[in-house]
Structure 1
Amino acid sequence: MRIVIVSRIFTPEPAAASFLLRATAEAFRDAGHEVEVLTSTPPPAASGADPRGIRVRRARVKRDRQGYVRGYLSYLSFDIPVLFRLLFSRRADLYLVEPPPTTGAVVRAVSLLRRTPYVYDAADLWADAAGVVTSSPLVLGALRAVERFAMRGTAHAFAISEGLIDRMRQIGIDVPATAVGFGTDTASFRYAPQDPPTAPLFVYPGSYSEWHGADVFLEAFAGVREAHPDARLLFIGNGSEQPRMRARIAELGLTGVEFRDPVPPEQLAEVLSSATASLASLKPGAGYDYAFTTKVYGSLVSGCPVIFAGAGPTGPFLRTESQHHPVGTAVEWDAAAARTAMLAAAEEPLATSRRVELAAWAAGRYSLSAVAERIVERSEEIVRG
């Protein structure tokens, strides 16, 4: 088959979607198919080679101040050119499209014109998330309509969880769907032996947008610094909340907090391998209570326990697994509870031998390659059908 993947984001730009799409592209290639990726030019800080045997075609897009393709103008800077790139390219047997919904809408239109089926990576529902940043019925209604149009035409949707599929059904998206789960790129994320930090080190990796509620850890860290004046908190990634969080740090008079740009997964894994714990959050009532914070996988395969604060299935996952493995802990989205968990981690950091065991166990269970293979198998069935 000839497969065309359409996504505003792809490796080497570090993001959960990038890792999954690369793994899926490689799985299609390994199954003997021709693969082409239509994506954007990565930001200057991102470096790395394209996957072997896969044609990656890039175009410049508008990025925000953090270097991320985020916001409607940024999306349109990718979507409008990709419409013509698809219309005037060789015909494909199948398109695989990654959100935002505007990109999905473009691919559906091309799919109808060229009589080519497409599948949709339903990583999340954008109209739900938009409710956190706006209450405008016009904006939310328009986004919901575009999202329904984008997804209702798909031959199949691949969701991260059954909870997301249930939510799709609630809002009228009744298309064939499979919960394929998620994982991480275990070739990039892995335990890298490091000298233990001389002071507690907490790392919040990845994005921190409005619905993440990462600011809960700022309040918590203020209490940690009272007990451990040399403790550090790193945010490695990007997010729309950074200006507000910087303002809150100033209000608290907080020191020891640092914001760093996204780094390649190999570099992030090195930092996680020595961190006291990684941090993850999901703000309750923000429209994403069904979502799983996939960044925990990258931490676990790097041998780093996780402290999670918030709603959704991540908390139950960590509580269940912690009965057998030192995966970390989950608390309510509450600064006092997060502070207690961070102090406990600082008092009893995970020993090197246990980090090695944790990384090996997680790598055996949460590799993206298994998820990608499920997507390829189902896609092959769709095209044959």
Structure 2
Amino acid sequence: MRVVIATRIFGPEISAASGILRTWAEEFRERGCDVTILTAKPPRGAVIDDPRGIEVRRAPVKRDRQQYVRGYLSYLSFDIPLAFRLLFSRRADLYVVEPPPTTVAVVRVVAALRRTPYVVRAADYWSEAAEMVTSSRLILGVLRRVEAWGLSGAMMLFSAHQPLTDRFRIAGIMTPAVPIGFGAETKDFRYDGQAPPEPPVFIYAGTHSEWHGAGIFVEAMHQVLHQHPGARLEYYGNGEDREEMQAKARGLGIEKSVEFYAPIPPAALSTILAAATATVASLAPVPRNNYALATKVYASLAAGCPVIFAGPGPTVEFLRQADHPYAGVAVGYDVDEAATAMNAAAAAPLPPPDRAELAKWSSGQFSLSAIAERVVDESLAIIRT
């Protein structure tokens, strides 16, 4: 059986989607499938390390100043060539699609022409996320219709979790959906015995865009430094809010304590997480985040590092109901609450034996490989019917 994965983002580009789709591709390969990945050329200077036995075809794409494929001109620079790449390639038995909605819509058109089923990794409801960057009713209306049309044509949606599936239903998207959850690649994220640092270090790892609201920790850090001079807050990743956050740190006079770094490979990030006092994660208090989950918490826990989350949504329930005493804490999207949690973590950092136990628990609960097995089981069932 031939499986084609269409995604604008894939390794060596650093993102959660890259790792997730790689595990899916490898699982399809292990089941005897012929797997091809149609993706974009990586950012400048990236070192390509493609999975063995999987064909990865890359095409040029428009990237922003941070070398990210973001915004609908960038998406279309991938989507339009993708249509021809799919139309004029060897026929597949299944397409696996990573959003944005325009990519899903292109695949629906080609899938109909070539009579090929497709499934979607539906990790978000893009139409509502777009409300953070535009108030145009025309743009939002078009996007909503394009997204619904693309998702409605799929044979299966692999949704992030049940609240997102419920949101699709409210929006009238009735495609069969399987909530698969999130996880971490435990081959990359693990704990290797690091002790918590002194002075304390807090890590935010991942995208910091408008709807993440990651600037709350810059403000909280101003309070933390009163109790823990020398503490540091480090951001790894990219996002539209970076310049504003840097300006906020300068305005508070704490720019030397708040550092920003480019995305780094998972294995290198794991070492940093494992040696941090705690990781911080956030989602802005907007309606679409009521069913969004901060996936970066899984990498942190797999590396034996507790999490401080600020904001709404399922991450709150996840941390409060986690069957582990050291997983972390969830607070409201409030500077004082975030600062209190950071000060508490700095005052009583988790010792190495407890970090090792936390990492062991996480790897047994939230493995990307286990999720990939379920995805491939469901996908192959679709092909065989």
TM over 0.5: yes
SS in 2 for 1:142: helix
Q: What is the rounded CA distance, in whole Å, between the counterparts of 2:217 and 2:344 in structure 1? A: 14
Specify the alignment match of 2:296 in structure 1: 295
CA shift for structure 1 position 44: 2.9
Q: What is the rounded CA distance, in whole Å, between the counterparts of 2:260 and 2:278 in structure 1? A: 17
Instruction: Give per-residue Cα distances to partners, 1:2-58, cap 9 Å, x unaligned.
Output: 000000001121211111100100010011111000011111354341011111111
Instruction: Give per-residue Cα distances to partners, 1:225-259, cap 9 Å, x unaligned.
Output: 11122010000001111121122122222231011
Structure 2 CA distance for partners of 1:343 and 1:265, relative to 1, 3 Å: same
CA contact (8 A) 1:8 1:39 kept: yes
SS in 2 for 1:341: helix
Q: Which amino acid aligns with 1:93?
A: D
Identity between Structure 1 and Structure 2 (%)? 56
Specify the alignment match of 1:139 in structure 2: 139
CA contact (8 A) 2:4 2:95 kept: yes
Q: What is the rounded CA distance, in whole Å, between the counterparts of 1:379 and 1:353 in structure 2? A: 40
CA contact (8 A) 1:305 1:328 kept: yes
Superposed CA RMSD: 1.1
Specify the alignment match of 1:36 in structure 2: 36
CA contact (8 A) 1:47 1:264 kept: no
Q: What is the rounded CA distance, in whole Å, between the counterparts of 2:107 and 2:318 in structure 1? A: 35
Instruction: Give per-residue Cα distances to partners, 1:156-213, cap 9 Å, x unaligned.
Output: 1110111111100111111111111111111111113335422110000011111111
Q: What is the rounded CA distance, in whole Å, between the counterparts of 1:292 and 1:56 in structure 2? A: 29
SS in 2 for 1:207: coil
The answer to whether 1:187 aligns with 2:187 is yes
Structure 1 residue runs without a partner (length 5+): none
Q: What is the rounded CA distance, in whole Å, between the counterparts of 2:75 and 2:36 in structure 1? A: 20
Instruction: Give per-residue Cα distances to partners, 1:317-342, cap 9 Å, x unaligned.
Output: 11122x63311111000000000000
Instruction: Give per-residue Cα distances to partners, 1:116-146, cap 9 Å, x unaligned.
Output: 0100111101111011111110111111111
SS in 2 for 1:300: helix
CA contact (8 A) 2:98 2:122 kept: yes
| 1:193-342 equivalence runs, <5 A | 193-255=193-255, 256-321=257-322, 324-342=324-342
Specify the alignment match of 2:24 in structure 1: 24
Q: What is the rounded CA distance, in whole Å, between the counterparts of 1:371 and 1:47 in structure 2? A: 27
Q: Which amino acid aligns with 1:209?
A: S
Q: What is the rounded CA distance, in whole Å, between the counterparts of 1:319 and 1:198 in structure 2? A: 27
CA shift for structure 1 position 286: 4.4
Structure 1: which 4+ aligned runs deviate by more than 4 Å?
A: none
SS in 2 for 1:96: strand
Structure 2 residue runs without a partner (length 5+): none
CA contact (8 A) 1:13 1:47 kept: no
Deviates more, 1:53-62 or 1:283-292: 283-292
Q: Which amino acid aligns with 1:272?
A: L
Specify the alignment match of 1:353 in structure 2: 353
SS in 1 for 2:292: coil
Q: What is the rounded CA distance, in whole Å, between the counterparts of 1:93 and 1:361 in structure 2? A: 38
CA contact (8 A) 1:14 1:46 kept: no
Q: Which amino acid aligns with 1:234?
A: E
Give the TM-score, by structure 2 length: 0.98
SS in 1 for 2:279: strand
Q: What is the rounded CA distance, in whole Å, between the counterparts of 1:101 and 1:292 in structure 2? A: 19
Specify the alignment match of 1:96 in structure 2: 96
Give the TM-score, by structure 1 length: 0.98
Q: Which amino acid aligns with 1:88?
A: F
Q: What is the rounded CA distance, in whole Å, between the counterparts of 2:14 and 2:2 in structure 1? A: 26
CA contact (8 A) 1:132 1:287 kept: no
Q: What is the rounded CA distance, in whole Å, between the counterparts of 2:90 and 2:111 in structure 1? A: 13
Q: Which amino acid aligns with 2:119?
A: V
CA contact (8 A) 1:282 1:289 kept: no
SS in 2 for 1:292: coil
